[in-house]
Structure 1
Amino acid sequence: MATNITWHPGLTHTERAALRRQPGLTVWLTGLSASGKSTIATALEQHLLHNNLAAYRLDGDNIRFGLNKDLAFSPADRAENIRRIAEVAKLFADSATVAIAAFISPYAADRKLARELHESAGLVFVEVHVDVPIDVAEERDPKGLYKKAKAGIIKDFTGVSPDAPYEVPVNPEVYIDTSKESVEEAVAKIVRYLADKGILKLPEEQLHA
């Protein structure tokens, strides 16, 4: 860790939020591959943007094309992947933007770290468990990953490989079962939570996806 560095303070989060007329926060979607995280995250981003709220989606696959292209899928690499994303999401949230992070993030300890990074900085962190029965995820399998994992072609695949478990969130702020709820219903549930908790102020007509 570098020691010859100095933190340079600037505008506070409160000042940025006041100037931009919106709060910054992170909505963290976690769940198995093919649970629908990215689809919901994209729809949520569009909904917020259409309602004049600054929002930006951080997607698991997209991030690995750039920032995290040096990481694989070992437990250590997964932990570092989430640590970096948590720091990036925190920066977006501090800038008075709604950061929408869609990552499998299988380990409870890593999600706890992401939450603590935000809360220690006075930033809102909302965990959304995007759940789906694994047989439904396998049926969807848009990338063919479950088939490859079961065939032994892909190692360390969450939910299939014995050494790659998914640790289910115990008390997420929002729970969504995509085998029963549509994308529109999922977005509406997240937005309704943010409004009910006073995190985002939206007119009633804007609470529906």
Structure 2
Amino acid sequence: MKNYIEYIPIFTTFFSVYFFKEIFSHYQYRKTTYLLWWSLGVLTFGLGTLAESFNILIGWSIPNVRYWYIVGALLGGFPLAQGSVYLLMKKRFADISSIIIVALIITASLFVILTPVSVPDNFDFKLTGKVFEWKWVRYFSPFINIYSFLFLVGGAIYSAVKYYRQGIKEAPFKGNIFIAIGGLLPGIGGSFTRAGYVEVLYVTEFIGLVLIYYGYRIIKLDKIIK
């Protein structure tokens, strides 16, 4: 019998579509680089949960595992984090870091596509990179995820502290706090996935995306009102 928690990625995927439509419209209006990256980040988030939805609705397959690992474990929160880099850092640093991390992701993705897959006995048919025979392929994701964590969560915390010190304790401060917590949760879920508890990731992804959206809305509406 299916665990109901395994169906959560379906709702997360639909919510990410809604979020993407709103933030991409915002980008089309403002035409800023950071909003473009944030739009790509929400899209990538939805593509990752779409793979999880396929797994529960259609069943486990090698192509879907490769696809899930690329959009989830490798891309993950990088586009969202890179949006924060373009917002907070100098453009030169943002451009160079984009080239380096994107090149790393492309390289790692090629290895994910090429690695043989070995299904062990008593396999539970959950999404995991443990089935890759080239075990070193999984060493790419921690570097990318640490970078993403530092600039997505760290960037939101930095912005919140900056606004707090300026005496701005309403929308910008609160919005960035929600974004920081929302960005942290999927990373926590990913740690549980490595331990074999992928259902924790499904829950933290959904809650994390909702919190990021809520934080984004607080900041966006405040700027519109002002």
Q: Which has the higher strand share?
A: 1
Q: Which has the higher helix share?
A: 2
Q: Which has the higher contact order (CA 8 A, sep 6+)?
A: 1
